[in-house]
């Protein structure tokens, strides 16, 4: 009689443990899918702001709620059609900084970045841009996204405005290496 009570209690504990595991697993996956997820930096296009192999946290809720993204937000996104046509993996994720929103006039002249007829000071970039870009008005439903390392970045100056629906989220925190621990902006 004692063994059957113990056996029943053991089964209940095991069942409870399994249920708890699946609840926590579901909660963790839900948080990662909806709110925030870890990513790493594979290239130097965001130097010096983000280094190769930095680990960052990407906030995804603002994008899911269709909230406007401020200028200078660092965004993670799926490649636009122009890059996919050039052979980019459609499931890849890229990272750049929003430098223009719908209606903004963007231009690169004399090695400097201009928005709406005004020279833009970019404290994260001390290198003069070595290309020009004719003035473009950013269309509705898109943003201009450029790397901080402008001379070594495959970005909107080459493939055009980024459709908002391609944006996955915004980089909010660098968590590795610990010497760079802190906000990404």
Concerning whether 45 is annotated as a catalytic residue, the answer is yes
The phi-psi region of residue 107 (left if phi > 0; otherwise alpha if psi is between -120 and 50; otherwise beta) is beta
- Give domain 40-183's CATH number out of 2.10.109.10, 2.60.120.260, 3.30.2010.10, 3.40.440.10: 2.10.109.10
Percentages helix, strand, coil for the chain (3-state, rounded to 5) are 30, 30, 40
CB 183 within 8 A of CB 158: no
Q: Would you kindly state where each structural domain of the chain is located, as residue ranges?
A: 1-34, 40-183
In this prediction the pTM is 0.81
Query: Measured between alpha carbons, how far is 18 from 57 in angstroms, rounded to an integer?
Result: 29
* Digit-coded pLDDT (tens) for 7-25: 568 888 888 778 777 777 6
Query: Measured between alpha carbons, how far is 57 from 146 in angstroms, rounded to an integer?
Result: 20
Query: Measured between alpha carbons, how far is 20 from 152 in angstroms, rounded to an integer?
Result: 48
Catalytic residue selected from 45, 73, 153, 156: 45
DSSP state at residue 177 = S
* Digit-coded pLDDT (tens) for 24-45: 766 666 666 657 889 989 889 9
Catalytic residue selected from 96, 125, 153, 156: 96
R_g (Cα) of the chain, nearest Å: 22
């Amino acid at each position: 009689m004692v063994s059957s009570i113990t056996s029943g209690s053991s089964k209940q504990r095991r069942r409870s443990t399994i249920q708890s595991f699946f609840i926590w697993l579901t909660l963790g996956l839900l948080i990662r899918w909806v709110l925030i997820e870890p990513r790493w930096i594979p290239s130097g296009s965001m130097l010096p702001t983000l280094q190769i192999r930095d680990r960052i946290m990407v906030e995804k809720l603002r994008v899911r709620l269709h909230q406007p993204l401020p200028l200078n937000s660092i965004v993670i996104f799926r490649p636009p059609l122009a890059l996919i046509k050039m052979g980019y993996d459609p499931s890849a994720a890229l990272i750049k900084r929003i430098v223009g929103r719908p209606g903004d006039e963007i231009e690169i002249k004399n090695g400097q970045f201009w928005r709406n007829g005004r020279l833009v000071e970019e404290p994260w970039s001390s290198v003069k841009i070595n290309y020009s870009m004719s003035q473009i008005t950013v269309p509705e439903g898109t943003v201009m996204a450029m790397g901080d390392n402008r001379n070594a970045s495959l970005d909107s100056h080459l493939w055009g405005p980024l459709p908002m629906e391609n944006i996955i989220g915004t980089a909010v925190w660098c968590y590795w290496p610990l010497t760079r621990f802190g906000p990404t902006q």
